Every structure is written in C-alpha cells, then in structure tokens.
Amino acid sequence: MEDKATFAIQMVQAPDIRQPKAKGFQMYFDNGLGISVQFGDGRGDDRYGYLYCNQESVNEDGSVSNTTAEIAVFRDTGDSSGFYPLSTHDDVEGYVTPDKVGKVIGILANEADATRALGPGDPLGLRKILQGDSDGE
C-alpha cells in the first residue's frame, strides 16, 4: 500500500497531464510544481477516503461532471514536505470552483521559483484565492 509521501514523489521531469484512476487529473509544470485536481463520485480511493467535492452528475451525452473539485499543490521534494499548505490544517482544499482551479493553475504555471512557492506562509496567495467569498477578487 502506498502512503502519502509516495504520492508526493510521483512527479515527472517533463510537463505532463495525467488522469489517475479517472477521478480527476494531475498537472506537472517545467518549474517543478504540480497540482492534483480530483473530482468524481466523491469516493476517492483506498488510500485517501472520500473526496471533498460535490456529487457528480451524468450528462445527456454520458459524460460525468462536478461543479467543484478537491485540489492539492506540491513540488517534487521526495517526501510529504513538498505539499503547499492550502489551509491551516490540511494540504488539500475541497469544494473549489472551476474559476478558482483555473486561477491556481495559472499562478503555478507562471511561478519562476518553486522553492519560494513552498516557503512559509502563503507566498503565492493561494489561500486568499481559495478561501475568499468570491473567485479571488
């Protein structure tokens, strides 16, 4: 059984987009940062339990959609210290709207210093975007 630290080091050298277990996707950027955006039926997997997103709906064309997702931000450090603390008590943030997911992806893709990105506090301002009443405005 894999642990959370093993999950954190599944980074790749080149930019990449992956779909782990059809529950969302992971993106890895040239700067060494990555994001996990998970959604689906809310069940997650055996390692992490339930996802923090709304229940999925099945569309007329058979596709499945959610209006929110659970996200995690990380850097390849070789252990769980590479997670960006998205809240005071957790490395993941749930019930994130598509607009906020897009803003976080833009910030991560444009960050020049991955080490600074995971420094103390909230150096990228992600908590403000995620925990604000609006979409980070």
Confidence band, pLDDT 50/70/90 cuts, at residue 32: confident
Which residues is 25 bridged to in the sheet? 37
CA distance 59 to 95: 20
pTM, whole model, 2 decimals?
A: 0.75
pLDDT digits (tens, 9 = 90+) for 38-74: 887 666 555 555 678 877 777 788 777 788 889 999 8
CA distance 131 to 95: 10
Percent of the chain with pLDDT over 70: 69
Q: Kindly tell me if the per-residue pLDDT of 18 is higher than 90.
A: no
Residue 46 is predicted with a pLDDT of 55
